[in-house]
């Protein structure tokens, strides 16, 4: 029961959505519109579960004294966001949006920008023309980087060459990867629906 019922729900919902895709009957259309909506709602609950786990872990950590100041700041940030949203709402010019614009966005974009340094230092250490594939990788990256800088304008052909590399050889490899992803997703989805792939149930039975 503990495994069969979830497997049955998975099978029925998967088969239903698969069959409905090929039907233009009004009921099928209604199901096609409704189930993704229900999916979003149930998925939203998984976020709440995640938040509950985050709070539980951090409160435990605070009680035990593990990284207490950082955990307090983290939980404090979370509680503040929820509290200001509950009191003043989330429309424009509310404290909620003020925190979002002046705390969350600047920090998020700075963390994103920080990665430029790590990517640059990793490439400085890792990029070596040891073999033909490594040399191709190095040259392509350099051409793309140069073509997007003012230095690239010194050579008329460089922006066009970079665009050609992106639109044809690079696109062809990307396309092959996408075909692989498509076929892989297809087989994995089939395995999940018919119950061969059961790792989501936990355990190894």
Partner 1 sequence: MDIGTLVAGLLTLAVLSFLYRDNPVYKMAESLLIGVSIGYFLVVTWESTLMDTMFEPLFAGDDFWLLLPLLLGLLMFARFGRRVAWLAKIPIGFLIGSGAGVAIPAMLYARTIKQMSATVVPLTTSSGWPDISGIVVLVGVITTITYFYFSREHEGVLGRSAKIGTYFLMVFFGATFGFTVMSRMSTFIGRMEFLLTDFLGLMY
Interaction residues for partner 1, span 22-61 (CB under 8 A)? 22, 34-49, 51-52, 54
Q: Provide the 3-class DSSP secondary structure of residue 205.
A: coil
Nearer to partner 1, 41 or 92 (CB): 41
Does residue 87 touch partner 1 according to CB under 8 A?
no
Q: By rule CB under 8 A, what count of residues binds partner 1?
A: 121
Angle at 93 between CA 87 and CA 98, to 5 degrees: 80
In this structure, what token pair is assigned to residue 197? 């792939």
Nearer to partner 1, 57 or 156 (CB): 57
CB of 201 to partner 1, least distance (A): 6
CB of 177 to partner 1, least distance (A): 7
In this structure, what token pair is assigned to residue 100? 């979002």
Does residue 124 touch partner 1 according to CB under 8 A?
no
Residues 145-204 that bind partner 1 (CB under 8 A): 145, 148, 162, 164-183, 185-186, 188-190, 192-193, 200-202
In this structure, what token pair is assigned to residue 9? 């729900």
Q: Contacting partner 1 (CB under 8 A), which of 33, 59, 87, 107?
A: 107
CA dihedral of 178, 184, 190, 195, whole degrees rounded to 10: -140
In this structure, what token pair is assigned to residue 82? 């929820």
CB of 120 to partner 1, least distance (A): 7
Residues ≥6 apart with Cβ < 8 Å to 94:
84, 85, 88
CB of 39 to partner 1, least distance (A): 6
Cβ 62 vs Cβ 68: under 8 Å: yes
Residue 199 DSSP one-character state: G
Q: Contacting partner 1 (CB under 8 A), which of 93, 116, 125, 154?
A: 116
Q: Contacting partner 1 (CB under 8 A), which of 87, 114, 129, 151?
A: 114
Nearer to partner 1, 110 or 154 (CB): 110
Task: Tell me the C-alpha distance between 115 and 109, whole Å.
Answer: 10
């Amino acid at each position: 029961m503990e495994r069969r019922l979830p497997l049955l729900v998975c099978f029925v919902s998967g088969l239903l959505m698969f069959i409905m895709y090929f039907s233009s009957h009004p009921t099928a259309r209604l199901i096609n519109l409704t189930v993704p909506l229900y999916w979003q709602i149930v998925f939203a609950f998984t976020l709440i579960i995640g938040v509950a786990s985050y709070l539980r872990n951090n409160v435990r950590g605070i009680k035990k004294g593990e990284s207490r100041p950082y955990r307090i700041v983290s939980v404090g940030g979370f509680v503040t966001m929820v509290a200001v949203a509950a009191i003043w709402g989330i429309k424009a010019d509310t404290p909620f949006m003020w925190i979002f614009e002046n705390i969350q966005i600047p920090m998020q974009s700075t963390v994103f920008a920080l990665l430029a340094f790590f990517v640059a230092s990793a490439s400085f250490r890792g990029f070596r023309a040891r073999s033909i594939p490594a040399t191709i990788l190095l040259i392509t990256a350099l051409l793309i980087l140069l073509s997007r800088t003012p230095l690239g304008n010194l050579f008329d052909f460089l922006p066009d060459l970079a665009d050609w590399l992106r639109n044809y050889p690079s696109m062809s490899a990307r396309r092959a990867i996408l075909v692989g992803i498509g076929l892989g997703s297809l087989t994995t989805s089939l395995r999940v629906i018919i119950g061969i792939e059961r790792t989501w149930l936990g355990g190894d039975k």
